[in-house]
Amino acid sequence: MSRKLNVQVSNDHIQRMITNVGALRALKELIWNALDADATIIKVSFVRGALDGIEEISVTDNGHGISHDDIDHKFGKLGDSHKIREFKSPGGRMYHGKRGEGRYKVFNLGHLATWRSVYLGMSNNALAFTIEGSRSNPSEVLVSEPAPCSEQTGVRVSVLDPIDKVAQLDNPDTVIGKLTEEFAAYLLAYPEIRISVDGVAIKTREIIDEFVDLDLRFVTEEQESIEAKVRLIIWKRGNFRNRFLCNSEGVAYAYEPSRIRHVPFNYSIYILSNYIEHMAGSADPSAFLLRNMNPVLRELVQRAENVVRIYFREKLAIEASDTIRDLKDEGVYPYQGSPANEIDNAKRQIFDICAVKIHQFDPNFIKSPTTSKRLTLRLIKEAIDQNPTTLKKILTEVLSLPVDTQEEFADLLERTSLKAIVNAGTTIANRLDFLSGLEHILFSPDFRKGLRERSQLHKILVNELWIFGEQYVLGQDDASLKTVLREYVRYLGREELAKDIPPDEMKDLIDIPDLCLWAKLPVGKPGQFSNLVVELKRPLHTLTTDDLAQIEKYAFEVAQNPRFSQNGLEWTFVLVGNSLNDTLKWKCKSSDRPYGLVVQTGAVNVWVKEWSDILRETNWRYQFLRDQLELVVQDNAEGMAYLSKKYGEILKSNPKTKDLY
């Protein structure tokens, strides 16, 4: 006998939640659920088909199980988990999950899921029941009645009919490596726990080369005392360079790429702090989602990584001692006596690391005459005195290249210049920083309420039209298009367009660029063109059907102008804002068109787009380059630093925003 249980939240909300998580993250959530249930043995198993593809995933644990008496509360109320009120499990472990969302992330693995729970009833007898759910209707689950059994307590989660993203789990070594890194700090705190994948146990200690805890304490500007433990693990193998935000016992709430990139170690950083636990357990779920905007957490992360940097530098300097002793014996070491102070000591450590790299990777240096060695090392010393960080990065990267990569680098320099390579990488890095900064000024509550549409947002975007597509530039060379746009600007609720000013001539705030960003582009065959017109609204304005009616009328009048031949000419009009009201959202939905395409006549298209969609699409276009260049945009602070450097005068022009960037 079974009954249906409806979750008290909309299907749309659950669907959004279960589509934004990767397969590996969903698998980790199932393991965390088992750990929160005081499990000591957790087994992950994959059933593979004839072509070795995954057909079923199961996670089995020996925890206390899910009680049938609690099923209405635990499965029926999304966002209201008992873990919000109870900080520790019955076995005394700190909880990982807080909102009861983890169990629904199972649908990032497959279309069908079954939980079989064995728990102890009121008479201490074992009872078993099942819960069944589907990805197509996750807000409704089927719950059976409990029945006596003779099994050990625990839960077995079985996932059938896997979705495409499960292919991320095909490589067992990769899965075990990622799980090892995720749960390392927790397994070190609870050594009795055993986790295995297809019978292969995760043996954290066996692949740890070095393990150290570093204490961190500081006082914020608001006189808040922050304490943390920075747990650093250096691995014998793998490709790990992440940092984890954890509670005081090592329960990881999130992980992010570390900014410490140029060291010859595979490592993981675990920041253990009650402050992080407080943020993750906040009644406001956005507090942790927007953690990178929290100045205290940013300072905590920055200080933690600085502690690790110092540790790495000292470790590398110690390992370099034998080589340095040989250089001193030969009389080519450029320093004399003991370091005068901490700055002098740090410079010597950097020099020692560079000297060892040269000694290791350049056989000719070892064989070169003493006078040549002395000159080379003296030049390095002088460069370090001028700019140690830059020199260290350049030498570390170039000297640590494998032989085949060095040959590729040399071949590339035959076809282009090093300056061009650096410029290309810098352009990509700057654009990623720009996206991060633009996101902040558009969505930060303090910033967007004071952001001016014409004198700030337009002046910034006029130089960054690549955000709408790499082919777009400011269309000031097409006089007829400009004239027609001016003729019908009244349909946008304006009296006139701003005067034409080349971007490199906009030197003061009196000069305001065109209110419409526009371009005429050749497409397809000769004689075919596409005209793009982008209409921006201020960030605080919520787009409505009135705005849509304006741009639709504008699009019609402009496209029908007799100046333009109707053959071989396409028009795309885009209305952009931060948010849409409900009526406009409804207008943007259609069964036969992409979301936001409100007019599609073949020759004329009218789009309504939110800035969040544009930023997501642009980030997606740059994802491949970001991955290949291993670029890391840490948080909005880096993006704002870029905006401040390039557009500082524009941002400072407004009293409401000048103190916010």
Phi first, then psi, for residue 217 (nearest 5°) are -140, 140
Q: Read off the pTM.
A: 0.50
Least confident of 43-52, 339-348, 517-526, 615-624: 517-526
409: pLDDT confidence band, cut at 50, 70 and 90?
Answer: low
372: pLDDT confidence band, cut at 50, 70 and 90?
Answer: confident
Rounded to an integer, what distance in angstroms lies between the CA atom of residue 651 and that of residue 456? 7
Domain range annotation of the chain: 2-170, 200-316, 320-400, 441-652
If you average pLDDT over residues 586-610, what whole number do you get?
86
Q: What is the pLDDT of residue 120?
A: 93
Q: Is the per-residue pLDDT at 638 higher than 80?
A: no
pLDDT digits (tens, 9 = 90+) for 9-48: 545 555 555 566 788 888 998 998 899 889 999 999 999 8
Least confident of 14-23, 152-161, 427-436: 14-23
Compute the mean pLDDT over every residue in the chain, rounded to the nearest whole number.
77
> Which residues on neighbouring strands pair with residue 627, listed in sequence order?
none
Domain 2-170 grouped into CATH 3.10.450.50: no
Q: Is the per-residue pLDDT at 271 higher than 90?
A: yes
If you average pLDDT over residues 86-114, what whole number do you get?
71
If you average pLDDT over residues 156-166, what whole number do you get?
89
Q: What is the pLDDT of residue 564?
A: 61
Q: What is the pLDDT of residue 660?
A: 47
Is 92 strand, coil or helix? coil
pLDDT digits (tens, 9 = 90+) for 162-205: 888 888 888 888 889 889 888 888 888 888 999 999 999 988 88
**What contacts 213, CB < 8 A, 6 or more positions away?**
229, 230, 231, 232
If you average pLDDT over residues 415-426, what whole number do you get?
69
DSSP 585-618: HHHH--SSS-TTEEEE-SSEEEEEEEHHHHHHHH
Question: By percentage, how much of the chain surpasses pLDDT 70?
Answer: 69
512: pLDDT confidence band, cut at 50, 70 and 90?
Answer: very low
Instruction: Please write down the long-range contacts of 385-388, taking CB distance under 8 Å and 24 or more positions apart.
Output: 385/347, 388/346, 388/347, 388/350
Chain length of the chain: 661
Residue type, 546: D
Rounded to an integer, what distance in angstroms lies between the CA atom of residue 263 and that of residue 288? 30
pLDDT digits (tens, 9 = 90+) for 276-297: 888 877 656 566 667 777 888 8
DSSP 65-118: ---GGGHHHHHH-TT--GGGT--B-TTSPBPS-SSS-GGGGGGGTEEEEEEEEE
571 closest CA partner among 491, 484, 646, 501? 484
Record the tokens describing residue 244, joined without a space. Answer: 């984890």
Q: What is the pLDDT of residue 430?
A: 79
pLDDT digits (tens, 9 = 90+) for 347-358: 888 888 778 777
Is 452 strand, coil or helix? coil
DSSP 630-641: T----SHHHHHH
99 closest CA partner among 246, 287, 271? 287
If you average pLDDT over residues 395-415, what whole number do you get?
63
Rounded to an integer, what distance in angstroms lies between the CA atom of residue 497 and that of residue 491? 12
Q: Is the per-residue pLDDT at 648 higher than 80?
A: no
